[in-house]
Amino acid sequence: MFRLLYCFLAMTLLFSCGDPSSNAVEAPVTDKPVESTSSTDNFVWQTETFADLGILRYQIPGFEKLTTKQKELVYYLTEAGLAGRDIMYDQNYRHNLSIRRAFEKIMRNYKGKREGEDWENFSIYAKRFWFSNGIHHHYSMDKFVPEFSKDYFMTLMNDTGAKLNEEALKAIFDPNFDAKKVNLDESKGLVAGSAVNFYDPGITEKEVDAYYAKVIDKKDKNPIAYGLNSKLVKKGGKITEQVYSLNGMYGPAIKEIIKWLSKAKGVAENEKQAKAFDHLISYYKSGDLKKWDDYNIAWCETKEGDIDYINGFVEVYNDPKGYRGSYENIVEITDFDASARMKVVAESAQWFEDNSTIADEHKKKDVVGISYKVVTVAGEAGDASPATPIGVNLPNSDWIRAKHGSKSVSLGNIINAYSNASGPGMLKEFAHDEEEYNRVSKYGELADKLSTALHEVIGHASGQINPGVGTPKETLKSYASTLEEARADIVALYFILDQKIVDMGLMPSLEVGKAEYDNYISNGLMKQLRRIELGKDIEESHMRNRQLIAKWVFEKGKKDNVISQVKRDGKTYFEINDYEKLRELFGFLLKELQRIKSEGDFEAGKTLVEKFGVKVDGALHKEVLARTKDLNIPAYRGFINPVLKPVKNDEGEITDIKITYPDDFVGQMLEYGGTYSFLPDYN
């Protein structure tokens, strides 16, 4: 999910998104080139850039106002998250942990010249590896291609005593071997064509489908999240699940997670929070997915307190079949002032549902339990680090959301860090005229943040699945994530041009909604294309979703000239001629997207995605790459985490937690590798 709101009353927020029913919004690509890396207090926000990446830092404002007990809770939760860091590497690819340790040994111990083209190329490759938690790009899913030779790398390993087996070396240097972490091209096999370590090599999609056809109880109205915390393996020709648990797969790391969660329970802010910790610990010990549901219910119902967190196997984007969750941790401190200003969105959820364009039979008659907060992040790990979402909506279970509600958060200090590290850029290049440039310059940040809030809080919570229809991962399969993100985006787009949002005091005028329309169409049809290589299709779910929406309304609006494609001085622009008719088109598409989800209409969903979301106009793509090449804007950005260090008295009791803000990305990666390494190379 993807954006939030910067209220003209002085708010600083934002968001990000995840899987079919999940709900993390990816970090936005800034509309502005990086010009300054420090704010007026001389805090350096951006520390370096390399390849297509920028490394930022974030602050934890207000931490000093917490009680000692609350600081202790934040510290324990942060340590619990980092304790599972190895898991994410192993989930992403089976050779990642062995490769990471070889890189760590080289970076720590190499005595040769740390200069020259070969060393620079190796250093960049290693940093890209750490940024993505493995050898595949965190967004495109393509494997990194080393720009140093195997001979040079062998010299580095021999000099430091690092070792890799032949297949791990092949994984680095053979561009065709395990080339894609997550493959969504059905012709290559969703499972066979994906290198992600959720399935034993050799297992086919057909075998996965057959396995779950036997174990899923389709009559269960409260289904567990089948496969969420396991790897599918083949033993003696039989398919079985290797469950993540204390005495199962990833046990040594999970033991450490449990240790820190148990300490967190000891300083819980209230009984409900302590009860949720009990459920989470019980789940980690057993691997029982019913206990995961118990935890999510208890977590949803814990609304009091200043500290919250996300911990577990959560988002399923990295599974081409949409079952398995990636390990993730985010520790949150409530920003009460900013949260109070946004409370009206959650409180108005039923109004949005009642006034949606979706069919009456697909509307929820009673939208319950939605909570929304702006939070300050204190630490992240796993799938949330270094590349972080900017907002999250959980839990992902539709039945839990319907009965017990959900929590939506905007990561306010992360958004603030992005803002502080940016200046003006792509807007100037792609705005079709001065009117659009001025409108987006004035209202774009507010529009982006408000859109994210509507996406997370209203979009993912809206609509219902028809009785007897399976979950989206069962019915819509590999298209579920794209279609869910499109559905939530289109909810936001439809309502952001509604006078109701102005009347609620969330924006000064409908010009904010127009700014969001300007930016969304330009990004969906052009700007986001800079993230993919020339000649390739769009494969990432969020990118597919954005092009699907923008291309669909562009095509459907041609008859009434709703959006014009304009050529000027050899450059392409898209101009919205009728904002109200565009809103009507968004409403029509919203109704269809909800119908597809409610009825589980796989063929209709597949047709929408494949026709509008996948293929790229080659000439336009080439033009976008040329126009953005010299703008010096990292396509992706991630973060160095603050360091929390306990201060103890003579009796060993924690009396305070001190924060430092390191600025060395490689240094933090090496520190983490030495401190939080609990799993063997192969699991």
Query: Could you tell me the CA-to-CA distances from 67 to 74, 181, 551 in Å, in that order?
Result: 11, 43, 51
Question: Over 70-133, what HEC string results?
Answer: HHHHHHHHHHHHHHCHHHHHHHHCCCHHHHHHHHHHHHHHCCCCCCHHHHHHHHHHHHHHHHHC
pLDDT on residue 39? 41
Q: Please, which residues bridge with residue 231 across strands? A: 242
CB 172 within 8 A of CB 151: no
Query: Could you tell me the CA-to-CA distances from 622 to 137, 233, 566 in Å, in that order?
Result: 21, 42, 17
Helices H / strands E in the chain, number of each:
25, 15
With b for 16 or more beta-carbon neighbours within 10 A and e for fewer, the 435-451 pattern comes to ebbebbbebbbbbbbbb
Q: Please, which residues bridge with residue 313 across strands? A: 327
Strands (E), 163-260: 230-235, 238-243
The Cβ of residue 294 has, within 10 Å, a number of other Cβ atoms equal to: 18
What is the pTM for the complete model shown?
A: 0.82
Q: How many whole angstroms separate alpha carbon 413 and alpha carbon 4?
A: 13
pLDDT on residue 424? 63
Residue 62 forms part of a structural domain: yes
Element (H, E) at 351: helix 349-354
CB 264 within 8 A of CB 77: yes
* Residue 579, C-beta contacts closer than 8 angstroms, at least 6 positions apart: 497, 513, 514, 517
Paired tokens of 564: 């014009």
Residue 19 forms part of a structural domain: no
CB 381 within 8 A of CB 329: yes
* Residue 17, C-beta contacts closer than 8 angstroms, at least 6 positions apart: 1, 2, 23, 24, 25, 26, 389, 391, 455, 456, 485, 488, 542
Query: Could you tell me the CA-to-CA distances from 621 to 171, 189, 569, 627 in Å, in that order?
Result: 30, 27, 17, 10
Q: Which of 158, 184, 38, 42 is nearest to 105 (CA)?
A: 158
Residue 510 forms part of a structural domain: yes
pLDDT digits (tens, 9 = 90+) for 390-408: 888 899 999 999 899 999 8
Residue 355 forms part of a structural domain: yes
Residue 265 forms part of a structural domain: no
Residue 539 forms part of a structural domain: yes
pLDDT digits (tens, 9 = 90+) for 455-480: 988 998 899 999 999 889 899 999 99
Residue 504 forms part of a structural domain: yes
CB 156 within 8 A of CB 146: no
Q: How many whole angstroms separate alpha carbon 342 and alpha carbon 495?
A: 16
Q: Could you state, in chain order, the average pLDDT of each consecutive group of 10 residues for the chain (683 residues)?
A: 32 35 45 37 91 95 96 98 98 98 98 97 98 96 96 98 98 97 92 97 95 93 96 94 98 98 98 98 98 97 95 96 97 86 85 97 87 92 95 91 90 87 79 94 87 88 92 92 95 97 95 97 95 89 95 97 96 97 98 98 97 96 91 89 97 96 98 98 98
pLDDT on residue 374? 86
Residue 621 forms part of a structural domain: yes
Burial of 636 per CB tally in 10 Å (0-12, 13-18, 19+) = buried
Give the total number of structural domains in the chain: 1
CB 103 within 8 A of CB 124: no
* DSSP helix/strand/coil, 179: coil
Whole domain around residue 558: which residue ranges?
24-66+306-637
